Structure 1
Amino acid sequence: MFAKLGAFVACATSLVVATSVPSGFVTTKGTHFQLNGKPFYFAGTNSYWSQYTTNYDDINFIFKRANTAGLPVIRTWGFNDANATFTAGGLPMYSAYNSIAGQIVYQTWADGKVTINTGATGLQHFDKLVSIAEQQGVKLIVTLTNNWADYGGMDVYTINLGGTYHDEFYYNPTVIAAYKNWVKTVVTRYKNSPAIFAWELANEPRCEADGTRNLPRSPSGCTAATITTWADQISTYIKSLDPLHLVTLGDEGFFNEPGNSDWAYGGGDGIDFVANLKLKNLDFGTFHLYPDWWSKTVPWATQFVIDHATAQQQVGKPVIMEEYGWLSVAGREQNLGTTSNYTRVEAVGAWQEAALEHKLAGDLFWQFGLEKGLSTGTSTDDGFTIYLENLTESQPLIYNHVAAIKQWL
């Protein structure tokens, strides 16, 4: 499936300038995306779990149902790192499924050495997922590592290569080289596929992680400039491998305003949203929105959306609300032991309204759910899942939102 398109790209790039892209590749124009020469505003979703699904009929069903619902962009993980040298109580501390035989695992680390799994439970599996996305007309944002301990992530590289601190991932040359090796493997494998919307450097990069399952932050080694420098380096490297696909950072969109007492605006986590958005080889910006986890209010979150739309206009690049969610009643009780005066429809609906009013380039809710049709039964629910069959939520937050975006086109 890739060879035929690869031949076309090779022929095309030999005749035209390097910025030309084949049909089906997403590009940018000012503050919005384009697809085949037309504006491409979208509502999309997150389904990290779809790429660990071993039943290909299920993956086909997931992508078909999402696309039919008007969600043509799906963000998923392009990583899973198993640490064979992991010891109970050691760091990074992640769930046991990373080492269960038969599970989808892409890299296995043992005694400081990494083996990339190109077999049926590794990249051959991702080959099939990309092929299904091509068939279904779905565009994938593929995230290449994780700030957090889930599914391996940054600390697996660092701990295996002799590092001590979480933020060494951004400046330790040995760690960077190992990460680049993975990036090169994935990016070059799928560089000719129109199913790839964008390569994403990391899920929610920060100078530190959760403080329990991850390595600690170094005492004085990480600032906003640290991650911006790393993002510049890695995005430039990806563009050297694949100049046709878009590249983004995958951060939560925190601002860096010295003296601002609000932690999401003060730069303490190592993210400078505006500086990152201005980087030459980052094509668009992302931000995430979880006021439940961040101890923020719904009105605060709405202003956070507006502030990113303002940055979009000021820098002149697209910005997407890449993850956003509000806990269900049961999820809030289980995770926080509290109740809220806002329903999910009211909270999420307010952010979607702000995104529409200020014309963000796109948004992807967290996370896509199906109650029927999968061989495994109901899909995973982390408290934020919006099930397509639950019309009380999906009608206003998916179907009506999709219809509102289509009015722009």
Structure 2
Amino acid sequence: MTRTARSIRWAAMTALAVFFVSSVQMPATAQPASPPSTARVTAGAGGLSLDGSPWWPTGFNAYQLATNWSVNAGCGAMVDLDDYFSSLPAHSMTRFNAFQALATNRFTGLLDFGPMDAVFAAAEAHGQLIVPVLSPQDGACEGDVFKDRQWYIDGWTAPPTGSAVLSFQDWVTTAVDRWKSSPALAAWELVGEPETSTCADASCSWSTRTCSSDAAQVLRTFFDTAGAQVRALDPDTLITAGLTGGGQCGSQGDEYRYLAQSPAVDVLQYHDYGADGVPLPGDQWNGLARRITQTTEVGKPLLVAEIGELAGSCGDLDDRATSIATKIDGQKQAGTAGALLWAFVPDPRPAECTYDIGYDDPLWDLLTDFQ
């Protein structure tokens, strides 16, 4: 997600979830499809493993790592990559934006992998693990074009538009081929917070988005097809479905379990906002407890890939750290597979109400406490 305040959005998502809970017929059985054991990071019913040992990763979302204003248009502030990765506890996990726009030179309009190569190189040098997110649902830092239902049907394979050099399908091939051998690679994520909404206007606002009856099938077909493309190029690396988990179009109620059954999904996600200090937020249809049950049923781990609570002018940093510690402890005991905080930034804004986490934030101590 972008760095805007999310409490209003969370309330809207919850309302949509309750209204649009659907009754999709699900396959009776599912077989988890984990990559071969030669992968550094593997997944199973018991959670994640790193180099053959159980691993409960903690870390940050650090979306702006590939920002380099001398090359690309950027997405947030520039980060000293060595400072960031050397500050993390060993074998932490970082989820970051690996969008095509950040591999495009803003002066020439051509592909330029330098800034993204630097992220992989720095993570490798410091023994860290990273999850590249190949595209955003909301279009943040890529022209702000929201991905609607049609995009998941055929838009992702269509010729590039705007400033894009490649179609998304070709970007997936390019990215996977380039970085699949990196020892820092923990998993691939195709789209951050995917949903198959139908939009009634160009802005695709919360008030104008609806869910079609085939929303789950469309999203499952995308996971199956695009995931198979990744798997053909890189059979060793996990694929994580970057679902928000709160009942968005295509993943409401039992639809989430249906998506989890995709053979091209190894790790599921849930994004946790708007429930400060509550380990298992949400309702009986789309809450985290329900998602843990569903992923357990299909034998795949659930990563809480975004945990955000506001601070700065909204609250004390120590109080936030205590609240999030309570949340993570409860989630780990309930059976989740890891926790990533939203979001590290090198330039936190203490006078504003934000999710920013800077180097001096007490939340850094939690990364070690829960590993």
Q: Indicate the SS of the match to 1:239.
A: helix
Residue 130 to residue 170, structure 1, CA distance change in 2 (3 Å): same
Residue 77 to residue 401, structure 1, CA distance change in 2 (3 Å): closer
Q: Indicate the SS of the match to 1:344.
A: helix
Pick aligned residue for 2:135 from 138, 145, 150: 145
Task: Say yes or no: does 1:308 pair with 2:325.
Answer: no
Pick aligned residue for 1:322 from 287, 299, 305: 305
Aligned ranges 1:247-396 → 2 under 5 Å: 247-254=239-246, 264=247, 268=249, 270-271=251-252, 272-291=255-274, 298=278, 301=281, 304-328=287-311, 330-331=313-314, 343-370=319-346, 378-379=347-348, 383-391=354-362, 394=363
More helix by share: 1
Task: Say yes or no: does 1:74 pair with 2:94.
Answer: yes
Q: In structure 1, give the amino acid aligned to 2:274.
A: P
Pick aligned residue for 1:26 from 41, 49, 58: 41
Say what the alpha-carbon RMSD is for the aligned residues: 3.5
Task: Say yes or no: does 1:64 pair with 2:79.
Answer: no
Residue 73 to residue 300, structure 1, CA distance change in 2 (3 Å): closer
Task: Say yes or no: does 1:226 pair with 2:218.
Answer: yes
Contact 2:49 2:55 in 1 (8 A): yes
State the 1:207 CA deviation.
2.3
State the 1:401 CA deviation.
5.5
Residue 206 to residue 174, structure 1, CA distance change in 2 (3 Å): closer
State the 1:314 CA deviation.
1.8
State the 1:285 CA deviation.
0.5
Task: Say yes or no: does 1:170 pair with 2:148.
Answer: no
Pick aligned residue for 1:196 from 151, 172, 185: 185
Q: In structure 2, give the amino acid aligned to 1:73.
A: M
CA distance in 1 between counterparts of 2:56 and 2:193 reads 23
Higher relative contact order (CA 8 A, sep 6+): 2
* TM-score computed with the length of structure 1 as normaliser: 0.66
CA distance in 2 between counterparts of 1:214 and 1:126 reads 30
State the 1:244 CA deviation.
0.9
* TM-score computed with the length of structure 2 as normaliser: 0.72
Residue 107 to residue 278, structure 1, CA distance change in 2 (3 Å): farther
State the 1:238 CA deviation.
0.6
Contact 2:59 2:94 in 1 (8 A): yes
Query: Which whole-Å deviations, capped at 9, do the CAs of 1:335-390 have from their partners, x for residues lacking one?
Result: xxxxx9x95245423321221212311110101244xxxxxxx3578711233313
Aligned residues: 311
Q: Indicate the SS of the match to 1:180.
A: helix
Contact 1:223 1:268 in 2 (8 A): yes
CA distance in 2 between counterparts of 1:209 and 1:61 reads 42
State the 1:179 CA deviation.
1.5
Compare 345-354 and 191-200 and name the one that shifted more. 345-354
Q: Indicate the SS of the match to 1:368.
A: coil
Task: Say yes or no: does 1:243 pair with 2:235.
Answer: yes
Q: In structure 2, give the amino acid aligned to 1:226.
A: V
Q: Indicate the SS of the match to 1:251.
A: coil
Residue 359 to residue 299, structure 1, CA distance change in 2 (3 Å): closer
State the 1:174 CA deviation.
6.7
What is the aligned partner in structure 1 of residue 73 from structure 2? Answer: none
Contact 2:279 2:331 in 1 (8 A): no
- Structure 1 ranges of 4+ moved more than 6 A: 209-212
Q: Indicate the SS of the match to 2:223.
A: helix
Structure 1: which 5+ runs fail to align?
1-17, 82-103, 109-114, 159-165, 255-263, 333-339, 371-377
